[in-house]
Amino acid sequence: MFDKILIANRGEIACRVIKTARKMGIKTVAVYSEADRDAMHVEMADEAVCIGPPPSKESYLVMDKIIAACKQTGAQAVHPGYGFLSENQEFSRRLEEEGIAFIGPKHYSVAAMGDKIASKKLALDAKVNTIPGYNDAIETPDQAVEIARGIGYPVMIKASAGGGGKGLRVAFSDREAHEGFSSCRTEAKNAFGDDRVFIEKFVEEPRHIEIQVLGDAHGTVVYLWERECSIQRRHQKVLEEAPSPFLDAATRKAMGEQACALARAVKYQSAGTVEFVVDKDRNFYFLEMNTRLQVEHPVTEMITGLDLVEQMIRVAAGEKLSFAQSDITLTGWAMEARVCAEDPFRNFLPSIGRLVRFIPPPEEAGKVRVDTGVFEGGEVSMYYDSMIAKVIAHGPTRDDAIAGLREALNGFAIRGVSQNISFVSAVLAHPRFQSGKFTTAFIAEEYPKGFDASMVPHDAPELLIAVAGSVHYRYLKRNSGIVGQMAGLEFKILKHYVLLMNGEEYDIQVRDIEGGHVVTWNGKEYDIRGEWRFYDPVFRGMINGQEIVMQVERVGPRYRLTHWGLQVDIEVVSRRAADLMKLMPKKVPPDLSKFLLSPMPGLLTQLAVKAGQEVKAGEKLAAIEAMKMENVLKAEQDCVVAEVLANPGESLSVDQPILRFQ
């Protein structure tokens, strides 16, 4: 077994690997860019080596610097995590040449499966079901259109070295195929240094289901059941679960056996994932093989009780798997939510900045797990991925796992950057998701015009009313205790209040009881007890004997409550104040329709127009790069550019003007 390993990654996966290495008694070395000098993985590791400037192409993607760090620290092995160099065959080969173990598959397996074109041909040879398509690199947009017509729309345009939704487009027409090909090549070249692109048939009504495999150097290959990853937005996974609510035992076994056959064909040694697309009749087709640890690996760990990172380390050290296929159990149900720094109410645009508050839900063995690589006071950088944490819940049934994850997200307090918890919570509450009858098109179909606050369901307003009334009463009790009050004009606490929420009025009464309060609304009493403190953004307590977790904070005269993804501002006032507030004038927002504003912080990579130019609706105006993704801004209507207010290469802040129109 290794004495010391280096983690060639950052963020939550680096922290995840360090935890297992520490459990195994192995010392760890972290590498970091200048932007990550104060990152959590740097603090957790036994040693740390700076490997360059913030851009990943100058730090985390530079093999020479990683190898030099290994030699400098005496690390005997490298765990690549996911992303960066994790599926780079040259990196695996170079480490092997240097006598450093790669905690992952051998370079020839990475080469065979990392190239999506070659992997499809290998899958055919291994008698694995594959999707019809054109499996050679395509050179021009016109060729892409011709091939797409031959296959028949819709088609999927994919970068051969792609992953994580980058270098991937679905085209339903010649125009989309032409544009999608160019975008895929650009993204793939920037993200992976490989601009080869191929095309395959897009399976309609598809589900994305993947099989976790594990192989050792002694010829053993097993599968650890499946993961359902169909809930995706722009090909980025949002929720993952294990097992799948769609598969039956026969399909599960067939998929597992084909995944193992493919792994054996390339002499696979490590943890890997064989991804399939499954149609409505449970026909399944090979999609790709990820020769690395997956982001969603915790759900598999929860249902099997196995530590996949530990197994990867043991296999890399030459050990034989200590279990056979028949020994692998499937216990309960696990579900994972990716918490990302993005604003779901602004079309999921990236959000960067300092984490003013970061309070993840408490972990509970076998029930709730939180994997993260950030901490309160740390920063979310524009240079890297937007994911800041994963919350995983486990329960006896799928319904239990959903309920556990919803409750855990209730207590996840993040301030300083926008995050997608409200969106994830809305998906978890959606009847179609809860039924298990969904496809990869779920988000596009259920939220075709984007996401807004009205789409966050909350069928228990009495919980919000009760907590707001109780919290307000606590503030009043504290205020009444201020010393030095003038005789006859002491602070008086009322018993009757008007609660203002979403334009509606609710008449409530509040009174003290031992250990809490009783809020009366609509003829029903709510007994509220809890240890909430004024500075604590998370309220944990009981309402009529039932546990409640809700986020509460004071924002001026209002209370901002967050529960089940819904965020609502509530005012609790006297009847007289409520009547007077109806007379207050409304402030009219300024007209910004004549400006193109940057929808996110990022780098202005392209300006496609100039002053005086006439632009038609739908034409490209600019492109902004943020968190490794290119975002194209197009004209919403016909217009004329009056003035250019920002230049290519400039770092933009959110809502910064780029263009002014006449």
Question: What are the backbone dihedrals phi and psi of residue 635, each rounded to the nearest 5 degrees, phi first?
Answer: -70, 135
Give SS3 for 143: helix
Biggest CA-to-CA distance, the chain: 92
Rounded Cα distance, 299 and 604, in Å: 38
Spatial contact of 393 and 408, defined as CB atoms under 8 Å apart: yes
**Torsion sign, CA atoms 72, 77, 82, 84:** positive
Spatial contact of 210 and 289, defined as CB atoms under 8 Å apart: no
Quote the distance between the C-alpha of residue 275 and its chain's center: 19
Rounded Cα distance, 516 and 518, in Å: 7
Active-site option among 288, 296, 342, 571: 288
Rounded Cα distance, 191 and 158, in Å: 13
Q: Three-state SS string across 391-428, please? A: EEEEECCHHHHHHHHHHHHHCCEEECCCCCHHHHHHHH
Count of C-beta atoms within a 10 Å radius of residue 71: 11
Amino acid at 293: L
**Torsion sign, CA atoms 285, 287, 293, 297:** negative
CA angle 65, 69, 71 (to 5 degrees): 120
CA angle 559, 562, 566 (to 5 degrees): 120
| Token pair for 112 | 């065979």
| Token pair for 501 | 């929420």
Rounded Cα distance, 99 and 305, in Å: 32
Count of C-beta atoms within a 10 Å radius of residue 625: 17
DSSP for 101-113, please give it. EESSS-HHHHHHH
Cβ contacts of 358 within 8 Å, gap of 6 or more: 374, 375, 376, 377, 378, 413, 414, 415, 416
Beta strands at 504-513 and 516-521: parallel, antiparallel or unpaired: antiparallel
Q: If residue 13 lies in a helix (H) or strand (E), which one and from where to where?
A: helix 11-23
- Residue ranges with strand state E in 447-534: 496-501, 504-513, 516-521, 524-530
Quote the distance between the C-alpha of residue 484 and its chain's center: 52
Q: How many residues does the chain have?
A: 662
State the DSSP code for 206: -
Spatial contact of 369 and 361, defined as CB atoms under 8 Å apart: no
User: Is 525 one of the annotated active-site residues of the chain?
Assistant: no
Give SS3 for 330: coil
- Residue that the structure tokens 């092995």 belong to: 77
Rounded Cα distance, 116 and 90, in Å: 16
Beta strands at 496-501 and 379-380: parallel, antiparallel or unpaired: unpaired
| Token pair for 81 | 């995590």
**Residues noted as catalytic:** 288
